[in-house]
Amino acid sequence: MCYVPYRENIASLLKAWLWDVPVSQAHQHSTGKLHWEPQCQYQLRHLQDSARISALLPPRLEGHWISTGCEVRPGPEFLTRSYLFYSNRLFKAYQFYYWDPSCHNPSHSLVIKGKLRLRQASWITRGATEADYHLHKVGIVFHSQRAMQEISARINQTSEGGCSGFFPPGRSWAPGVLYEVLSAKEGRDCTTALGFAMHELSLVRVEKHYEPLLQTQPSGSRTVEELYLGDIHTKWSERLHYRPTGYQRPLQSAVHHAHPCPACGIIYRSDEHHPPILPAKAELPMQLSGRWVSAHCEVRPAVLFLTRYFIFHGNSRTWEGYYYHYSDPLCKQPTFTIYASGHYTKGIPSSIVRGGTELAFKVTCARVTAMDQVTVTMLNSSEPGTCGETGFWSAGMEQDITLTNGCLALGIRLPHTEYELFKMEQDMKDRSLLFIGERPTDGSSPDRPEKRPTSYQAPLIQCAGATGVFSKHISPRYLGKEDNNGNEALKPLGFPCITCLIMYDVYCAYTS
């Protein structure tokens, strides 16, 4: 089935497109949210409020940076991190690994020591700084007999670097004992069997933003500093050689972090002998409905900056997604927008990633809006019949690409099925979070069950519950506009062509 959200009566359709007039600045809340403005649209607009976000160039790394919760890496691997950078360019990094997705049951800890030198601004990833690093030592501490047996067996099978027989067979686990698996001084490196690399240090970005204080506190804001390090390749065999072009989930400053953050204090006080044990979390049921939006400007490998907005209709298991693409790391300069829709299967618990739910999503319809001249030129140069109507692309005008089975120039193929991994959580502010599977690093699609993700992208925040009203969204060309009084305003999109919508619905029903 090809889902199109225009099956409302004409009166409801027209009413939904009549936007109210925003009130004056004097009557708005201090948060900057317009009285009439829906939460999802406010969140999308707020993502472009670059006055609240600044990137420190060159980045200042000196200090203590910590995870704000349990992280999931491809594999899957569950871990928390605690990194200390010193003024003399030395660093000490802790990586704590776990058996479970709550980071409650520790497996082993790594303590990594070395030296880092910042270089120049990245030529590939805008807003990032490239760095060189050198490892001096890597030590491992096991937190159970099982962990020691499994990891030592992998290391003993490694032939290079004098690692074969590193752990004598039958050695019993001794709590607190540190084994040195890498030593630059002795020329030994037995970390390959662990899939270990610190290439994340080769790409660095530090952001500072301002978080509004809780309502119970005096007005104002709190500074939050985040450290973005290079992403981990989604394919295990590639991670030892991969040089990052995207980021992982950011670490936050131990001094300037978001509040509340119960995990921050636990991780801050931990070391390799005393790993952080986070509270066990109940797994939330996958009730996929409502509207979800990005919390930040997101970065994907191959230099893609974007924000996402999804609408799920749980009763019919249909979905809509808006992907707003940009050319800059603050998501201020739009390049193109993709709208896609389709349906999805009932989720089943993942047998590979604990706490995750496996689904299959079918994309049946898509539309593209070019937002800058570079994209317009590219699409107008595409082969006829491969991406909408070649020669008719113009900035700000949307084209349906369903008839051409997608858009070859943008890598979109229709119809298309993707095998996904979802997870729901609740943060400390009682907001519902939706984690969607991490995209393959090589830019391909998870179009086969064996390519299903084992880790997650940055979470989406629920901005509205289930609704029967058809979806409407903010076009990037209207964000940041001002009204006659100099206040920020959102202008309405033009009225939809009712006949066009009906004909489009008939076409999708016919072709599904």
Same domain membership, residue 350 and residue 239: no
In the predicted structure, residue 423 carries a pLDDT above the cut 60: yes
Same domain membership, residue 451 and residue 323: yes
- pLDDT band at 8, cuts 50/70/90? very low
Residue 338 lies in a domain: yes
pTM for the full predicted model: 0.83
Residue 118 lies in a domain: yes
In the predicted structure, residue 15 carries a pLDDT above the cut 70: no
Residue 9 lies in a domain: no
- pLDDT band at 215, cuts 50/70/90? low
Same domain membership, residue 294 and residue 257: no
pLDDT at residue 32, as a whole number:
52
Residue 496 lies in a domain: no
Same domain membership, residue 265 and residue 295: no
In the predicted structure, residue 199 carries a pLDDT above the cut 90: yes
Same domain membership, residue 295 and residue 403: yes
In the predicted structure, residue 188 carries a pLDDT above the cut 50: yes
4-13, 194-203, 459-468 — most confident range:
194-203
pLDDT at residue 159, as a whole number:
62
In the predicted structure, residue 123 carries a pLDDT above the cut 80: yes
Same domain membership, residue 265 and residue 162: yes
pLDDT at residue 467, as a whole number:
54
- pLDDT band at 266, cuts 50/70/90? very high
- pLDDT band at 439, cuts 50/70/90? very high
Same domain membership, residue 337 and residue 225: no
pLDDT digits (tens, 9 = 90+) for 93-113: 999 999 999 999 999 999 999
Residue 335 lies in a domain: yes
Say which DSSP state 457 is in. Answer: -
Over residues 205-209, the mean pLDDT reads: 92
Q: Which of 441, 462, 483 is the last residue of a domain?
A: 462
Same domain membership, residue 327 and residue 242: no
> 62: domain range?
55-269
- pLDDT band at 46, cuts 50/70/90? confident
- pLDDT band at 446, cuts 50/70/90? very high
Residue 454 lies in a domain: yes
Same domain membership, residue 430 and residue 325: yes
User: 318-326 and 304-313: which strand pairing?
Assistant: antiparallel
- The answer to which of 157-171, 187-201, 332-346, 435-449 has the lowest mean pLDDT is 157-171
Domains contained in the chain, number: 2
Residues 185, 113: contact at Cβ < 8 Å? no
- Residue scoring higher pLDDT (251 or 475): 251
pLDDT at residue 41, as a whole number:
81
pLDDT at residue 284, as a whole number:
85
The continuous run of DSSP H or E covering 174 comes out as: none
pLDDT at residue 43, as a whole number:
80
In the predicted structure, residue 33 carries a pLDDT above the cut 80: no
Polymer length in residues for the chain: 512
Same domain membership, residue 245 and residue 294: no
Show the tokens assigned to 83.
């990194």
Over residues 65-83, the mean pLDDT reads: 97
Residues 267, 257: contact at Cβ < 8 Å? no
472 three-state secondary structure: coil
pLDDT at residue 168, as a whole number:
75
Is the alpha carbon torsion for 318, 285, 433, 492 positive or negative?
Answer: positive
pLDDT digits (tens, 9 = 90+) for 391-416: 999 999 999 999 999 999 999 999 99
Residues 80, 227: contact at Cβ < 8 Å? no
How far apart are the C-alpha atoms of 397 and 302, rounded to whole Å? 26
Residue 1 lies in a domain: no
For the chain, give the longest Cα–Cα distance.
Answer: 79
pLDDT digits (tens, 9 = 90+) for 138-167: 999 999 999 998 998 888 887 666 687 777
Q: Which of 237, 269, 301 is the last residue of a domain?
A: 269
Same domain membership, residue 327 and residue 265: no
Over residues 240-254, the mean pLDDT reads: 94
158 three-state secondary structure: coil
pLDDT digits (tens, 9 = 90+) for 47-66: 766 557 888 888 999 999 99
Q: Which of 421, 444, 462 is the last residue of a domain?
A: 462
How far apart are the C-alpha atoms of 303 and 125, rounded to whole Å? 6
In the predicted structure, residue 218 carries a pLDDT above the cut 60: no
pLDDT digits (tens, 9 = 90+) for 303-346: 789 999 999 999 999 999 999 999 999 899 999 999 999 999 99
pLDDT at residue 153, as a whole number:
87
pLDDT at residue 50, as a whole number:
54
Over residues 281-285, the mean pLDDT reads: 84
Strand partners, 225: 208
Same domain membership, residue 315 and residue 205: no
In the predicted structure, residue 505 carries a pLDDT above the cut 60: no
- pLDDT band at 501, cuts 50/70/90? very low
How far apart are the C-alpha atoms of 104 and 433, rounded to whole Å? 20
How far apart are the C-alpha atoms of 220 and 212, rounded to whole Å? 6
- pLDDT band at 214, cuts 50/70/90? low
pLDDT digits (tens, 9 = 90+) for 342-391: 999 999 999 999 999 999 999 999 999 999 999 999 999 999 999 999 99
Show the tokens assigned to 221.
């804001």
Say what percent of the chain tops pLDDT 70: 80
How far apart are the C-alpha atoms of 379 and 410, rounded to whole Å? 9
Residue 375 lies in a domain: yes
